[in-house]
Amino acid sequence: MAVWPYEISMEAFTESYDLQGESFWLNVFNAHKDKMQIKNPNVAVVNLKKIFSATFKLANTKGFQAMSLRDLSRETEISMGGLYAYIGSKNDLASVIEGVLRTTIDEVIGSLRQQNLEPVERLRAIVYGEIYAMEILKPWYYFCFMELKGLPREQQEQAMDLELRFEQNVIDVVEEGIRSDQFACSSPRMLAALATAQLQQWHLKQWKFKQANVDTQQYARLVFESLLLNLHYQPLQGRAPSMGGHRLAGVEQNRFSE
Amino acid sequence: MAVWPYEISMEAFTESYDLQGESFWLNVFNAHKDKMQIKNPNVAVVNLKKIFSATFKLANTKGFQAMSLRDLSRETEISMGGLYAYIGSKNDLASVIEGVLRTTIDEVIGSLRQQNLEPVERLRAIVYGEIYAMEILKPWYYFCFMELKGLPREQQEQAMDLELRFEQNVIDVVEEGIRSDQFACSSPRMLAALATAQLQQWHLKQWKFKQANVDTQQYARLVFESLLLNLHYQPLQGRAPSMGGHRLAGVEQNRFSE
DNA sequence: GTCTATACAACGATAGAC
DNA sequence: GTCTATCGTTGTATAGAC
């Protein structure tokens, strides 16, 4: 398996971004401590983890509206009264989840923008980065996708805005590649939308990829190489070619276990 | 605008399949008349239309679980008691919607299988057919996608099964094209999954395509031509080339209004 | 076939003891 | 900081008049 910059491993990504460690949960705590009565971070984080993961378990199988706080109380082993020391209300809980995820993604996306890479490699970083973030925060992504329409209008708009900003990142890279004659594409905007559809599939259709035995990195590569095809990518002369640069090479490298 | 078989219009599709006329609603009536107390089809169909479209309006904005039957009663202008002459229960209503859509899609998919066309044209018929069906039944598709996890496990499995059967159609065409040297693809299965992701986007992200001013046929063409690129499609010698057969031609023909 | 009136279970949320 | 007990509301569903 090739390594960065020709292939990006999940490990390389995990080292760069903390999306699951203690500092991540301290962020969650700080993000909405004004809505909680608990002041001790050490106590709070333990129960926040319980509450969030139980919410994902219940809401992502039966739906957030169908999940009652009594369900949540049972699953977390925290009493009804106890729960209300950590959440302002049931709707608040959903809002907080969306807010935390959006802030987190926003940071990842923003940092990917600043990387000073060739178009092809920046595109790769965007695609792989988004898939790896999705893999780590899968229940968060799925929850926000499915429950977005139950949230306040303002949050719905912010979420759509974030999605468009992600796509703008893709568009910018594509247009840079067009200027340097590596890419050709008549509608970068629609290509970005089509790619987003494929990326989101990673959390939307987990059953399908599990059944097909496709892992995270394989999926990222699939989407990325399909993107290069749509961009009619031709590597510049006089450089080491990237993987997937040649159409036939892309075909050969892309075999799965079926 | 080119016509069949080089391009398929929405009108051509609508003439072949009745997915919205009176006979469609009679099918809906027959499909679950055992759950209704109303025996007169003429009376029933009028109110069924009201109930279903109100359900889509409410459930597709706030969610099915968040929609109360009092909401539904207000929106349809049918009393609570009256509603129960048409539905067995609230959950029943969701189940019926899923069942009707699944049966309908199943018929469309089945009939597309039997068309005796060249691989490229059968692939085109599948892609355009699915998008056009989606356009007509958009609220149904969206409802079923978003509310599936609230339905009985058996229905969830049938829905996943239908999706895999659709993809199998794509896989079969692709493999036929590979045998006749028109296509090249290392994993037809994953390609079909990636294409499905893009197709479903048509009902999942309506706001995005409205914003980008992309219409139904344009979107179908986008997905189709991206598919041909991924298949490294080369038309056989000695025939009239299909649209999208040449890479550069595909690029040129694919401009949008932005 | 459609309505009004009502049953009663379950919900989110809070008060107050510990 | 966590619990139990309970409030008021809203939900689905039905009975019975018309």
Q: Note the pLDDT tens digit of each residue in A43-68.
A: 999 999 999 999 999 999 999 999 99
**pLDDT band at residue B54, thresholds of 50, 70 and 90?**
very high
How deeply is B174 buried, as exposed, middle or buried, from its count of CB atoms within 10 A (0-12, 13-18, 19+)? buried
Strand D bases near protein CB (under 7 Å) are 1-6, 10-16
Residues of A in CB contact (< 8 Å) with B are 60-63, 65-66, 146-147, 149-150, 160, 163-164, 184-187, 189-190, 193-194, 197-198, 200-201, 204-205, 207-209, 212, 214, 222-223, 226, 229-230, 232, 247, 251-252, 254-256, 258
Which residue's entry shows tokens 């075909």? A251
The CA distance from B86 to A157, in Å, is 36
Q: Residue A113's pLDDT is what?
A: 85
How many angstroms is C1' of D13 away from CA of B63? 21
How many Å apart are CA B177 and CA B118, to the nearest integer?
A: 8
Of B111, B127, B124, give the one whose Cα is nearest residue B16: B111
Backbone phi, psi, residue B6, to 5°: -90, -15
- Statement: the CB of B35 is under 7 Å from strand D: no
What does the pLDDT look like over A187-233, one tens digit per residue? 999 999 999 999 999 999 999 999 999 999 999 999 999 999 999 99
Distance from CA of A228 to the nearest CA of B (A): 10
- CB contact set of A155 (below 8 Å; sequence gap of 6+): A95, A98, A99, A148
The total of structural domains in chain A comes to 1
For A48, A70, A94, B162, the CA distances from A83, given in Å and listed in that order, are 10, 10, 14, 41
List chain A residues with CB under 8 Å of B232.
Answer: 247, 251
Please give the residue range of the domain that contains residue B246: 10-253
The distance of Cα A205 from the centroid of its chain, to the nearest Å, equals: 14
Which alpha helices (DSSP H) does chain A contain, by range?
Answer: 10-16, 22-31, 41-62, 69-76, 80-83, 90-114, 119-136, 138-147, 153-179, 188-204, 206-211, 216-230, 247-253
What is each CA distance from B25 to B19, B31, B41, B165, B251, in whole angstroms?
Answer: 9, 10, 10, 25, 41
Residue of B nearest to A143 (CA): B146
Identify residue A220 by its one-letter amino acid code.
A
Query: CA–C1' distance B68–D10 (Å)?
Result: 9
Residue A3 falls within a domain, yes or no? no
Of A147, A186, A190, the CB nearest to B251: A186
In a domain? residue A258:
no
Is residue A83 within 8 Å of A140, Cβ to Cβ?
no
Q: Give B74-85 pLDDT, tens digit per residue.
A: 999 999 999 999
Confirm if A11 and A19 have CB atoms less than 8 A apart: no
Residue B4 lies in a domain: no
Please report whether residue B14 resides in a domain.
yes
Q: Is residue B84 part of a domain?
A: yes
Calculate ∠ Cα B165-B169-B172, nearest 5°: 125
For residue B120, give every residue at least 6 positions away whose Cβ sits within 8 Å of its Cβ, in sequence order, or none. B177, B182, B228, B233, B235, B242, B245
Are B206 and B187 in contact, with CB atoms under 8 Å apart?
A: no
* Residue listed under structure tokens 């912010």: A158
Question: Number of residue pairs across A and B with CB atoms under 8 Å?
Answer: 114
For testing contact with chain A, the best of B57, B186, B200 (most A CBs within 10 A): B186
Mutation to test the B interface, candidates A68, A167, A186, most B Cβ within 10 Å: A186
pLDDT at A235: 87
Q: Binning pLDDT at 50, 70 and 90, where does residue B69 land?
A: very high
Q: CA-to-CA distance for B127 and B174, rounded, in angstroms?
A: 13
For the segment 212-231 of chain B, residues whose CB is within 7 A of strand C: none
Asked if residue A5 belongs to a domain, the reply is no
pLDDT of residue B238: 55
pLDDT at B5: 56
Q: Which residues contact B159 (CB under 8 A, 6 or more apart)?
A: B98, B102, B144, B148, B151
- Using CA coordinates, name the residue in chain A closest to B252: A186
Contact A208, A214 (CB under 8 A): no
Regions of chain A with pLDDT less than 70: 1-5, 238-258
Tell which wins on pLDDT, A158 or B239. A158
Among B197, B226, B247, the residue with its CB nearest the CB of A201 is B197
The answer to whether residues B99 and B31 touch, using CB atoms and an 8 Å cutoff, is yes
Per-residue b or e along B46-57, where b marks 16 or more CB atoms closer than 10 Å to that residue's CB: ebbebbbebbbb
Residue length of chain B: 258
Q: Which residues contact A172 (CB under 8 A, 6 or more apart)?
A: none
Overall average pLDDT of the B150-161 stretch? 98
For the domain that residue B79 is a member of, what is the CATH number? 1.10.357.10
Q: What's the DSSP call for residue A171?
A: H
Query: What is the token pair recorded at A238?
Result: 């006089």
Does A4 fall in a domain?
no
Distance (Å, rounded) from C-alpha A168 to C-alpha A162?
A: 10
Report yes or no on B190 lying in a domain: yes
C-alpha–C-alpha distance, residues A149 and A162, integer Å: 15
Cβ atoms of B212 and B256 closer than 8 Å: yes
Q: Give me A87's structure tokens.
A: 């959440």
Residue A91's CB is within 10 A of a number of other CB atoms, namely 13
Distance from C-alpha of B62 to C-alpha of B50, rounded to nearest angstrom: 18
Report the chain A residue with the minimal C-alpha distance to residue B64: A65
